[in-house]
Amino acid sequence: MTYNPNIPIGSNLVSSDISSMQTNFSQANTIFGSDHFDFTIAPPSNRGLHKQVNFPTIPTPPVVATTASALYPKLGSGVTRLFFVNATEDIQITGASSVTATPAADGYTTLPGGLILQWKVSTNVSSGNHNIVFPLAFPTATLSVMVTANAQSAANTVTLNQQQPSAAGPYQLKGFDLTNAYIRNSTSGSDIYIFAIGI
């Protein structure tokens, strides 16, 4: 069954076109139901409400009026991302991999505009050099890294140093080197907490 935009025909009796009209109504309900609860769904109070929103990917931002705004999907690096656009801004809302925070000790989330926040816990870190790997490699740049340590007791001492592993910037996209970490009076090492910001 396909939708026929030429039905009904003005010169025909309704009885002649009733079957095609019913087909059109059925097709309209099917199309409407792609993003909404259709007209036959139970309970009736849900009919017409959104159940999801599907966006076909478009290559360029839509043109909107000065006082209007729009959401649209754009393909970038093989991933479809959602953007907000108005007369002066074109802002990425979703990130390359995930917009939902991963509920774990090591995780990441993406903020509107594409900024990525990451966190990580390295347990039982002893004195010496350590390579810290982010939960997610930043696609473009690592902007900032903050490292703190749990000394576990007042008698313990933790000293941390960060080395620049790349001449291109203070941090690599995948992580960084923690050098000359000094852990005193701790038999099991210290827990190291990392928070990183990037794009």
List CB contacts of 132: < 8 A, sequence separation 6 or more: 120, 122, 147, 175, 176, 177, 178, 192, 194
Contact 82, 73 (CB under 8 A): yes
- pLDDT for res 130: 73
Higher pLDDT, 77 or 73: 73
The stretch 1-11 carries a mean pLDDT of 85
Which CATH architecture group holds 107-198?
A: Sandwich (2.60)
Neighbours of 59 (CB within 10 A): 6
- pLDDT for res 45: 92
pTM score of the predicted model:
0.52
57, two tokens? 């990917």
The stretch 140-144 carries a mean pLDDT of 88
155, two tokens? 């008698």
Among all chains, which residue has been given the structure tokens 């941390």? 160
Q: Domain ranges in the chain?
A: 1-54, 55-94, 107-198
Name the pLDDT band for 107 (thresholds 50, 70, 90): confident
